Amino acid sequence: MPDQTNDRNLRSWVEPANRADCEFPIQNLPYGSFSVAGGERRLGVAIGDQVLDLRGAADEGLLKLDEAQGALRKQTLNPLMSAGPKVWTALRTQLSRLLEAGNPVLRDDAALRTRLLHPMANATLHLPFDVTEYTDFYASRHHAFNVGSMFRGPENALPPNWLHIPIGYNGRASSVVVSGTPVRRPWGQVKGPDEAAPRFAPSARFDIELEMGAIVGVASDTPLSVAEAFEHIFGYVLLNDWSARDIQAWEYQPLGPFQSKATATTVSPWVVTASALEPFRVNTPEREVPLLPHLRDVGPMLYDITLDVGLRPEGGAETVISRTNYREMYYSAAQQLAHHSACGCPMRVGDLLGSGTISGPDRENRGSLLELSWGGKEPIEIDGGSRSFIEDGDTLTLRGHAQGEGYRIGFGACTAQVLPARRAMAEQ
């Protein structure tokens, strides 16, 4: 059955939503958690340049979810996700009808509109879901080849398992933060190749990783097929997996990254649903060797999402340092979730799966400074200077959208400024 909520001809009575370059048209309807003027947090939906208050709309009788109605009154998306895919669809359909150009119910009631719609510019956006677990993968062929070439040479770039499983590690849910939260440069143990002994110092090679985050919306405790895993994913965010390369280089063998990735992970404030991305599904690239049956995809499960990264030095102008696309990934989030669950690992509502750094074939498509500057050997030019890695005061911004005919499905910026390492640590 075709989903009316994705019809490209739909228009909203919230006029800015109909602009071709608006990130939040009526076809998007992403969920967030917001507050206004220091008030309580509420769930909201982005439409044009406004946020619709879900709790208020429920209290006014404009949204009806039967036994899941209470989920609309919560401050994070987890209860709504827990209500399951039928409720997700019901809510999306009701929101689409409520905001559609021809529906007068809210459109023509100025007092009600004032109560339920808030200018996004006045809203504080919070972490939209409780991050119950966080796992990060290493699933872009171009990224893995680039990084492997730097560390092991191009002949041994891909580890022997890489073409058979989406390699991942269990990360820290506790340090996932919403866009706009400053990130402090970490301290850690480092040892350069020419140094006799390790030192404890601020990371000198602090970096970004341009990723997408997939959010699990259905709990499970048995192995999932790739098709089941696809249906369990509620939505997607942009994700910056901050990485201290010098700490990583010293610690990562044999168990993978630990402190180098634990400082912070920044996510964009709006959860774009898998339903909104449905028209933008694409196949993973051709397999270089066949996958075992439990990891084979059974249809297009990646998405065509244009991505870029901006770097703005303190007091300076932003330079776009990377442009790539989510469709470059070798493994989809569904394949990653199937792999994750294959041992019987329970997956929880609010489980966040980082795609892994998304790099493309050319230099400008590289999704980390490590690759862009080739380990610091080829600094990139930015406004007013150059960079190998992040400097204090730099603001890094990830952006992304799926481009439809006459409209786009955006995520909102995933941004943060990097603050200097805390002085006190040096004196201990």
CB of 297 to Mn ion, least distance (A): 21
Residue 251 contacts Mn ion per CB under 5 A: no
Nearer to Mn ion, 241 or 394 (CB): 241
Q: In whole angstroms, how close is the CB of 358 to Mn ion at the nearest point?
A: 10
For Mn ion, the binding residue among 23, 53, 207, 241 (CB under 5 A) is 241
Can you tell me the distance from the alpha carbon of 220 to that of 83, in angstroms, rounded to the nearest whole number? 14
Contact segment (CB under 5 A) with Mn ion among 12-20, 156-164, 169-177, 207-215 equals 207-215
Are 384 and 165 a contacting pair, CB within 8 Å?
no
Please list the residues that pair with 202 across neighbouring strands. Answer: 187
What is the spatial distance between Cα 263 and Cα 185, in angstroms, rounded to a whole number?
8
**How far apart are alpha carbons 12 and 14 in whole angstroms?**
5
Question: 209 or 328, CB closer to Mn ion?
Answer: 209
Which residue's beta carbon is nearest to the bound Mn ion? 241
Cβ–Cβ < 8 Å for 338, 199 = no
What's the rounded Cα separation, in Å, for the pair 144 and 159? 9
- 130 versus 211: smaller Cβ distance to Mn ion: 211
CA 241 → CA 59, 135, 210, 427, distances in Å? 38, 11, 7, 28
Q: Out of 209, 246, 371, 394, name the contact with Mn ion by CB under 5 A.
A: 209
Structure tokens at 138: 């290493």
Which among 348, 390, 340 is positioned nearest to 369, based on CA atoms?
Answer: 390
Closer residue to Mn ion in complex, CB, 209/394? 209
Binding to Mn ion by CB under 5 A, coded x per residue (else -) over 87-126, reads ----------------------------------------
Residue type at 374 in one-letter notation: W
Catalytic site residue from 118, 126, 142, 143: 143
Which has the closest alpha carbon to 408: 15, 14, 19? Answer: 19
Asked if 339 is an active-site residue, the reply is no
Q: Site for Mn ion (CB under 5 A): how many residues? A: 3
SS3 state of residue 205: coil
> Pick from 339, 377, 389, 425: which is nearest to 139 by CA?
339
Q: What is the dihedral of CA 295, 162, 132, 55, to 10 degrees?
A: -70
Nearer to Mn ion, 55 or 261 (CB): 261
Give the bridge partners for 170, in sequence order. 135
Nearer to Mn ion, 241 or 246 (CB): 241
> Which residue lies nearer to Mn ion by CB, 241 or 308?
241
Q: State the DSSP H helix or E strand holding residue 238, giving kind and residue range, or none if neither.
A: strand 233-241
Nearer to Mn ion, 50 or 415 (CB): 415
Q: C-beta of 262: minimal distance to Mn ion in Å?
A: 12
CB of 243 to Mn ion, least distance (A): 7
Task: Say if CB 54 and CB 63 are below 8 A apart.
Answer: yes
* Residue from 133, 136, 251, 297 in contact with Mn ion (CB under 5 A): 136
Distance in Å, CB of 257 to Mn ion, minimum: 8
Note if the bond before 159 is cis, omega within 30 degrees.
no
Helix or strand (DSSP H, E) at 239:
strand 233-241
- Least distance between Mn ion and beta carbon 341 (Å): 20
Give me the least distance between CB of 136 and Mn ion, in Å please. 4
Which residues are CB-contacts of 185 (< 8 A; sequence separation ≥ 6)?
202, 203, 206, 390, 392, 418, 419, 420, 421
Piece of 1-9, 98-106, 131-139, 328-336 that binds Mn ion (CB under 5 A): 131-139
Q: Which residues have a Cβ under 8 Å from the Cβ of 114 and sit 6 or more positions away?
A: none
Q: Compute the least distance from the CB of residue 52 to Mn ion, in Å.
A: 33
**Which of these ranges, 1-9, 44-52, 96-104, 128-136, lies near Mn ion under the rule CB under 5 A?**
128-136
| Site mask for Mn ion (CB under 5 A), range 60-79, x = bound | --------------------
What residues act catalytically?
A: 143
Residues that bind Mn ion (CB under 5 A): 136, 209, 241
